[in-house]
Chains A and B, each alone.
Chain A
Amino acid sequence: MAKNYRVEISGEEFIVKIEEIKQNNNEATKIAPVQTIESGQNRVINKKKQTFTSGKSVDKSGSSIVAPMPGSILEIKANVGDKVAAGEALIILEAMKMENEVTADQGGIIKAVKVAVGDSVEADDLLIELE
């Protein structure tokens, strides 16, 4: 069915998987998923934001505060433009029978609040952007 092809774009090599789409009169045409596999040279380690609490330099450009676990937003303690200190509670997340404080991992200014009170969030959902 699907075949792999090597494609070169501006000197960079990619491997793409191309699948032939069979037209079916009774069905609307579905676009087959095209999977792009990056070439070996360009792939970098892809992982979730890792929070090294110390022993590693903190990213100076800002940070994304994400939900530590699934739950619902009970209270938002920070507004856009507020200056906050590291460790300050920004959001109260009700989860696992607890009102959990979600705190700033570094000092900064609140750039965006991505959730509202009452929202249900999943683990790692973006809550607040800090700069």
Chain B
Amino acid sequence: MEIEKSEAKLTAIREKIELGGGQLRIDRQHKKGKMTARERINYLLDQDSFNELNPFIKNRSTTLGMSDKQVPGEGVVAGYGTINQRLVYLYAQDFTVMGGSVGEAHAQKIQVVMDLALANRAPLIGLNDSGGARINEGIDALNGYGEIFYRNTKASGIIPQISAILGPCAGGAVYSPAITDFIFMVDQTSKMFITGPEVIKSVTGETVSGEELGGAATHNQLSGVAHFREKDEKSVLDKIRLLLSYLPDNCQEKPDQIQLKDQAGRSTEKLKEIVKANSKQAYDVKKVIEIIVDKNSFLEVQAEFAPNAVIGFARLNGRSIGIVANQPKYLAGCLNINASTKLARFIRFLDSFNIPIISLVDVPGYLPGTEQELGGVIRHGAKVLYAYSEATVPKITLIMRKAYGGAYIAMGSRSVRADLVYAWPIAEIAVMGPEGAANIIYRKEIASVENSAEVRQQKIAEYKDKFANPYLAAERGMVNDIIKIAATRAKLINGLEILVNKNLHNNQQRHGNIPL
């Protein structure tokens, strides 16, 4: 009987904790179109797989009315479970309990699962929904954040870390997601900023809405802080499950190769309907990707930020790969500051987690202009060179059409150690475009004749014929082979197979000094 009594007591206490901030606040959360922390966890994980850790932890704060305040669960639910039968550690902030505010005990619960995730080499997922630091707990709250940032950093590149912003995430709170690998946001619900609209108004006088300042659209389109924007919470959680399917559990493992749902040797003849031989005609590189990779396997990352570059996960013959491509449809596919940072961070992620890099190149060069130069395109552009050179995973580059100047070198060329470089016969690999080159090389000749316009066109055609092709690069060994367009998929899959055991390591410096 004694045992039954004790267990009944346990159940009662647990039920109280599991109710969080109470039915009233739960209803309020629902009314905003938001799920509670526990509902989110249950939706994200495989059924009945969640195990909670430290539900009983209580703060020890006695100041500012904390001594007799009830804070069930301390505003966060933490533990572990499985996603498609794979172990993940996770925490979900509970907005119904003191606005999900972060105090010492709240932070401690998060730290426990972070430590377990790192020690056991399994992915970490954070579902953020918090008003910020719990002011009542003063610097203990701040210290809690610091301990989380430190752990995010130490886990970086060892286990995948994913953040979903499912409500407010303001002030110091933003830096934990910022250090993680991917940030998901929900339209109209998620807000991320260092200082909110009220503070900005009082300090600088600027009037700006929360949505404009730190909404999902802002961070996915303009700031580049976030990687995915979804219409609701469930879509975010669904997409986290999908994203994880492309990733290994940690840096020592390779992603799963899944059963092939497409033919490895399938012809990619259809690409000829999309990519025009006339390199001045733009096209949508996403259509090219869709044709090359396994059917319906392309998961785009940062789809809205710097659309002149396209990145994402996909599969080739069931193997997880990372696609890095130029997008001729936007800004002619040029490299600029935003595209450079987007590409470089993704390349480094892929390299961290043993995911081969497939680069699809059609790049006219770097975007000219004072905005770019003064904005530091030199140091940002350098990141792409650094990231490719540093990466030791299998790297296969396909030069589809344009590959001009420094941008050609940057986009996974042989010199930054692509293992295999293929080019289509319509590729143009040269130091600069025919127009520019003809103008410089034949300047005097063009100026000295009467029919200069005609001669200029003639010189451009001559240059194009002589230099804007893949053969010179192939003669120098900078291109390993020139392939027929229809054979693209088969060649890339074959390339991946022969590189599958690539085992290359960087020097053991303390760490490199990537230009930031």
What residues make up the interface of A, taking CB atoms closer than 8 Å to B?
Answer: 39-45, 50, 52-56, 68-70, 94-101, 122-123
Q: Is the CB of B280 within 8 A of A99?
A: yes
Please judge, given known A-B contacts A69-B331, A70-B369, A96-B364, whether A52 and B205 are in contact too, CB under 8 Å.
no
In the complex, chain B residues whose CB is within 8 Å of the CB of A40: 204-205
Q: What separation, in Å, do the CA atoms of A12 and B216 have in the docked complex?
A: 36
In the complex, chain A residues whose CB is within 8 Å of the CB of B433: 97
Please judge, given known A-B contacts A53-B221, A123-B371, whether A96 and B204 are in contact too, CB under 8 Å.
no
Known pairs A45-B207, A69-B367, A100-B332; list 12 more (Cβ under 8 Å): A41-B205, A44-B206, A55-B216, A56-B217, A69-B331, A69-B332, A69-B369, A96-B365, A97-B332, A98-B279, A122-B369, A123-B371
B241 to chain A, nearest CB (A): 23
Nearest residue (CB) in B for A39 is B205
- Residue among A44, A53, A96, A97 with max Cβ neighbours from chain B (10 Å): A97
Q: Which of B212, B216, B229, B364 contacts A97 (CB 8 A)?
A: B364
In the complex, chain A residues whose CB is within 8 Å of the CB of B435: 97
In the complex, chain A residues whose CB is within 8 Å of the CB of B216: 55
Q: Is the CB of A43 within 8 A of B222?
A: no
Nearest residue (CB) in A for B216 is A55
Tell yes or no: B304 within 8 A of A by CB: yes
Nearest residue (CB) in B for A42 is B205
Q: Is the CB of B332 within 8 A of A98?
A: yes
Nearest residue (CB) in B for A69 is B331
Q: Which of A41, A54, A69, A98 contacts B328 (CB 8 A)?
A: A98
What residues make up the interface of B, taking CB atoms closer than 8 Å to A?
Answer: 187-188, 204-208, 211-212, 215-217, 221-222, 229, 279-282, 304, 328, 330-334, 364-365, 367-369, 371, 402, 404, 433, 435
- Residue among B221, B365, B404, B433 with max Cβ neighbours from chain A (10 Å): B221
The 3 closest A-B pairs by CB, nearest first: A96-B332, A40-B205, A98-B332
In the complex, chain B residues whose CB is within 8 Å of the CB of A41: 205
B198 to chain A, nearest CB (A): 14
Q: Is the CB of A55 within 8 A of B367?
A: no
Please judge, given known A-B contacts A55-B216, A55-B229, A123-B369, whether A45 and B364 are in contact too, CB under 8 Å.
no
Nearest residue (CB) in B for A52 is B217
Please judge, given known A-B contacts A53-B304, A55-B216, A96-B332, whether A70 and B204 are in contact too, CB under 8 Å.
no
Q: Which of A96, A99, A122 contacts B331 (CB 8 A)?
A: A96
In the complex, chain B residues whose CB is within 8 Å of the CB of A53: 221, 304
Please judge, given known A-B contacts A96-B331, A96-B364, whether A43 and B204 are in contact too, CB under 8 Å.
yes
B356 to chain A, nearest CB (A): 29
In the complex, chain A residues whose CB is within 8 Å of the CB of B188: 55
- Residue among A41, A69, A94 with max Cβ neighbours from chain B (10 Å): A69
Nearest residue (CB) in A for B368 is A70
Q: What separation, in Å, do the CA atoms of A99 and B328 have in the docked complex?
A: 10
In the complex, chain A residues whose CB is within 8 Å of the CB of B402: 97
In the complex, chain B residues whose CB is within 8 Å of the CB of A43: 204-206
Q: What separation, in Å, do the CA atoms of A97 and B330 have in the docked complex?
A: 13
Q: Is the CB of A97 within 8 A of B207?
A: no
Q: Is the CB of B367 within 8 A of A52?
A: no
Q: What separation, in Å, do the CA atoms of A93 and B208 have in the docked complex?
A: 34
Q: What separation, in Å, do the CA atoms of A55 and B208 have in the docked complex?
A: 17
Please judge, given known A-B contacts A52-B217, A68-B331, whether A96 and B205 are in contact too, CB under 8 Å.
no
A11 to chain B, nearest CB (A): 17
Q: What separation, in Å, do the CA atoms of A41 and B281 have in the docked complex?
A: 49
Q: What separation, in Å, do the CA atoms of A98 and B281 have in the docked complex?
A: 6
In the complex, chain A residues whose CB is within 8 Å of the CB of B330: 68
Q: Is the CB of B280 within 8 A of A98?
A: yes
Nearest residue (CB) in A for B278 is A99
Q: What separation, in Å, do the CA atoms of A44 and B197 have in the docked complex?
A: 12
A112 to chain B, nearest CB (A): 25
In the complex, chain B residues whose CB is within 8 Å of the CB of A56: 211, 217
In the complex, chain A residues whose CB is within 8 Å of the CB of B215: 55
Q: Is the CB of B332 within 8 A of A52?
A: no
In the complex, chain A residues whose CB is within 8 Å of the CB of B211: 56
In the complex, chain A residues whose CB is within 8 Å of the CB of B281: 99
- Residue among A44, A50, A98, A123 with max Cβ neighbours from chain B (10 Å): A98
Q: Is the CB of A96 within 8 A of B207?
A: no
17 A-B pairs whose Cβ atoms sit less than 8 Å apart in the complex: A40-B204, A40-B205, A43-B204, A43-B206, A44-B206, A45-B206, A52-B221, A54-B217, A55-B187, A69-B334, A70-B369, A96-B331, A96-B364, A97-B404, A98-B282, A99-B281, A122-B369
In the complex, chain B residues whose CB is within 8 Å of the CB of A70: 368-369
- Residue among A41, A44, A56 with max Cβ neighbours from chain B (10 Å): A56
Q: Which of A50, A94, A96, A99 contacts B367 (CB 8 A)?
A: A96
Q: What separation, in Å, do the CA atoms of A69 and B367 have in the docked complex?
A: 8
B440 to chain A, nearest CB (A): 15
Nearest residue (CB) in B for A95 is B332
B222 to chain A, nearest CB (A): 7
Nearest residue (CB) in A for B220 is A55
Q: What separation, in Å, do the CA atoms of A57 and B58 have in the docked complex?
A: 45
Q: What separation, in Å, do the CA atoms of A98 and B368 have in the docked complex?
A: 14
Q: What separation, in Å, do the CA atoms of A54 and B229 have in the docked complex?
A: 11
Q: What separation, in Å, do the CA atoms of A40 and B207 have in the docked complex?
A: 10
Q: Is the CB of B334 within 8 A of A101?
A: no
